Structure 1
């Protein structure tokens, strides 16, 4: 499998502005932010899309959400609110085929998102 940009970030071959890391999840600032705070949380194993989640890897999804919750508290936006989003495949807006959780905060989010 060809490495994605996220694989290269995990391997420290491409620099990233890392804001969170534990044994299972890495969080780094999005290079094209859509909000004042825009962080991507990724599992440290490649799971290509949301459709590839299964009983063997579902724990990574939970860990990504817990990481986002902890980060929200750390940067002081937990009480005012934030958005977490995952895209799946082309029509869902996914461009990197390594699941990632978008964490957006620092402004009022609108609905529908588009």
Structure 2
């Protein structure tokens, strides 16, 4: 019932509250949030993944589409849709994500050469899975984070 209520609110009030997201994106986002995320399915072992790290709060695994020689997704087991939903109590969990990233970067041999940590939030950043995730990228020289304007 909670998810249905959320969907109704998003569909009717969303355009006025979330005016920066296209209506198509809002509808697609609401549909995806209604279902459990692909990451929750990995956490529950409903979908196979190459898991590189796991504890009671966090799981890290190799994504299907690699963006660099080293590319891991570091995901909280608690389903949080975007960073915009993180409360004060969630700050400890965010800190844990970054400590896991540091550990994995060292294990992958990229802690000294350099690596990038990325979270994509909503439409303009290209978020397509609505379960918070921290990308760990490295193993080569990475280009600019965004297209440089002249």
Given the two structures, how large is their TM-score scaled by the length of structure 1? 0.95
Gaps of 5+ in 1: none
1:10 paired with 2:43, answer: yes
- Matching residue of 1:85: 118
Tell me how far apart the structure 1 counterparts of residues 42 and 85 of structure 2 sit (CA, whole Å). 21
Instruction: Kindly state the Cα deviation for residue 91 of structure 1 after the two structures are TM-superposed.
Output: 1.2
1:108 to 125, 136, 141: 141
Residue 3 of structure 1 aligns to a residue whose secondary structure is coil
Map Cα deviations across residues 42-67 of structure 1 (whole Å, 9 max, x no partner): 00101100100111222111111100
CA distance in 2, matches of 1:78, 1:113: 22
Q: Which has the higher contact order (CA 8 A, sep 6+)?
A: 1
* Structure-to-structure mapping, 1:1-114, within 5 angstroms: 1-114=34-147
- Structure 1 segments, 4+ long, off by >3 Å, are none
SS in structure 2 at match of 1:62: helix
Q: Helix, strand or coil: the match of 1:61?
A: helix
Q: How many residues align?
A: 114
Larger fraction in helix: 2
Specify the SS of the correspondent of 1:65: helix
CA-CA distance at 1:113 after TM superposition? 3.3
The two structures, once aligned, show a CA RMSD in angstroms of: 1.0
User: Which protein is bigger by CA-based radius of gyration?
Assistant: 2
